[in-house]
Amino acid sequence: MTFAPLTAAALLSDLDARLVGQSITCLPECDSTNDRARAAAEAGAPDGAVILAEVQTSGRGRRGRVWLAPPGACLLMSTILRPQLPAADAHLLTMLAACATAAAVESVADLACPLKWPNDLVVGERKVGGILVETSFLGDALEYAVVGIGLNVNLDVGLYPEIAETATSLARELGTEVDRIAVARELLRQLDRRYARLGRGLGEEVYREWRRRLGTLGRQVVVVDHRGEAEAVLAEDVAPDGALIARRADGSRRMLRLGEVSLSQPISTSTRTCPSRNRPSAGPGGW
């Protein structure tokens, strides 16, 4: 299947964004859009500059995982943001990006797209996208952030047995090819709107929307912490700093700021697992 390439001219057409996307670079191939965006940020690229790629040779997701993205099937995008934020509030950018991506999916594809803590997007319990935010600080202030977003648009996950049961794409859910340009343009709009709110000091609104969109809350899940240890818990709530508030089997509470959850593969509380850093991710190519 052949997909129309992403171009700056196509994305800028009718783009009613104030800041995000006013500078767009579309690459046929690169190592990682996040790496390219970080280099551009260090060289002085403006707030809201965007880099997209059709193919990445060194794409990555969280915890160094290798992510899958054949040419033209996914949306692979990194945005440079330079908000006036203290370092302690940098987590708001992950929340902002996740909500913007979910809103874009809902607007263009008319699919419910809840979030899975901390930064995954799911459709029908399968992963359709993810967020990877990398930051640079000057003292206690944020110098810039690179917001990486990967979204499975026309990916045929059936071609990849290692993710076929855990990942999906917009095309798979709708049964038809989806216009990546329309999705990318809407994503830029949604990012721009939320970034403007953050600039007006409305970080609390960003947190509340992220919390509302989380499909993890109120469910029995398995959490895997940063040490690779797994535990079955009830996902009760999230704190304003993004931490998951979990209720253990003995009734005690646990706060997780690093880690991930599984919604569909409950295991014994005595089971311990340590996922490989190099296993494929159930989702799009990384950044």
**What does 141-170 look like in DSSP terms, one character per residue?**
EEEEEEEEEEEESS--GGG-TTTTTTB--H
Is residue 285 one of the residues assigned to a domain?
A: no
Using alpha carbons, select from 266, 228, 272, 231 the residue that is nearest to residue 252.
231
Is residue 284 one of the residues assigned to a domain?
A: no
**Quick check: 287 pLDDT over 90?**
no
Mean pLDDT across 192-214: 97
> End of a domain among 148, 178, 213?
213
Mean pLDDT across 127-134: 96
Do 101 and 231 share a domain, yes or no? no
Mean pLDDT across 171-197: 97
**Quick check: 1 pLDDT over 90?**
no
What per-residue confidence (pLDDT) applies to 281? 46
For the segment 58-87, what is each residue's pLDDT rounded down to a tens digit? 765 555 555 567 888 999 999 999 999 999
CA distance linking residue 9 with residue 15, whole number of Å? 10
**Quick check: 270 pLDDT over 90?**
no
> End of a domain among 213, 241, 275?
213
Do 183 and 61 share a domain, yes or no? yes
66 or 219: whose pLDDT is higher? 219
61 or 6: whose pLDDT is higher? 6
Identify the DSSP state of 4.
P
What per-residue confidence (pLDDT) applies to 71? 85
Do 169 and 200 share a domain, yes or no? yes
- Long-range CB pairs of 191-195 (<8 Å, 24+ gap) are 191/17, 191/20, 191/21, 191/79, 191/96, 191/97, 191/100, 191/147, 192/17, 192/18, 192/19, 192/20, 192/21, 192/48, 193/100, 194/96, 194/99, 194/100, 195/19, 195/20, 195/48, 195/81, 195/83, 195/96
Confidence of residue 276 (pLDDT cuts 50, 70, 90): very low
**Quick check: 286 pLDDT over 80?**
no
| Domain total in the chain | 2
**Quick check: 108 pLDDT over 90?**
yes
64 or 138: whose pLDDT is higher? 138
Do 100 and 155 share a domain, yes or no? yes
Is residue 2 one of the residues assigned to a domain?
A: no
Instruction: Write down the mean pLDDT value for the chain.
Output: 89
Is residue 286 one of the residues assigned to a domain?
A: no
139 or 269: whose pLDDT is higher? 139
Using alpha carbons, select from 117, 106, 220, 119 the residue that is nearest to residue 174.
106
Do 186 and 252 share a domain, yes or no? no
Is residue 97 one of the residues assigned to a domain?
A: yes
High-pLDDT (> 90) share of the chain, %: 80
Q: Which domain holds residue 241?
A: 219-262
Is residue 1 one of the residues assigned to a domain?
A: no
Mean pLDDT across 244-266: 87
Confidence of residue 277 (pLDDT cuts 50, 70, 90): very low
Do 176 and 105 share a domain, yes or no? yes
Do 156 and 241 share a domain, yes or no? no
Do 35 and 147 share a domain, yes or no? yes
Do 86 and 137 share a domain, yes or no? yes
Mean pLDDT across 79-105: 97
Is residue 193 one of the residues assigned to a domain?
A: yes
CA distance linking residue 76 with residue 263, whole number of Å? 25
- The 10 Å Cβ neighbour count of residue 211 is 18
What per-residue confidence (pLDDT) applies to 57? 86
This prediction's pTM: 0.89
The CATH number covering residue 247 comes to 2.30.30.100
> End of a domain among 197, 213, 229?
213
CA distance linking residue 51 with residue 175, whole number of Å? 29
Do 177 and 209 share a domain, yes or no? yes
Is residue 271 one of the residues assigned to a domain?
A: no
For the segment 162-182, what is each residue's pLDDT rounded down to a tens digit? 999 999 999 999 999 999 999
Confidence of residue 266 (pLDDT cuts 50, 70, 90): very low
What per-residue confidence (pLDDT) applies to 226? 85
Query: Under a CB-based contact definition with an 8 Å cutoff, are residues 100 and 194 in contact?
Result: yes
What per-residue confidence (pLDDT) applies to 59? 63
For the segment 43-56, what is each residue's pLDDT rounded down to a tens digit? 999 999 999 999 98
Do 182 and 242 share a domain, yes or no? no
Do 106 and 184 share a domain, yes or no? yes
The CATH number covering residue 114 comes to 3.30.930.10
What per-residue confidence (pLDDT) applies to 85? 95
**Quick check: 263 pLDDT over 80?**
no
